[in-house]
Amino acid sequence: MRVLLKAQFDTEKSNEGIRNGKLPELLKETIDHLKPEAAYFGPEDGCRTCWLVIDLKDSSDIPPTAEPFFAQFNAKVSFTPVMNADDLQKGLSRIR
């Protein structure tokens, strides 16, 4: 299932992660591992934030995907199901 993963990093922890190189390392490892369809980075609600559009094969993929963000940067992490235009058209065609 295509989902939007949003991770908002704790400012103090992410400042430390930038100084010691852990934040760029985590982001590179995460992108290499998850191979997101899209990856965006910017500020939201005063926090460093990343948005990744990823494919989760199973709900059991949530813990190993989220845990590095929680453990290393006290991040707030959310997963939101999303569709591209083709998915939407496919879904709408099944409504009677």
What would the pLDDT profile of 17-45 be if each residue is shown by its tens digit? 999 999 999 999 999 999 999 999 999 99
What is the per-residue pLDDT for 96? 86
- As a whole number of angstroms, the distance between CA 17 and CA 21 comes to 6
| C-beta atoms surrounding 70 within 10 Å | 13
Q: Residue 46 pLDDT > 90, yes or no?
A: yes
pTM assigned to the model: 0.90
- As a whole number of angstroms, the distance between CA 43 and CA 24 comes to 16
Contact 77, 6 (CB under 8 A): yes
Locate all alpha helices (DSSP H) within 1-96, ordered by sequence. Answer: 11-20, 22-34, 62-73, 85-93
What would the pLDDT profile of 66-94 be if each residue is shown by its tens digit? 999 999 999 999 999 999 999 999 999 99
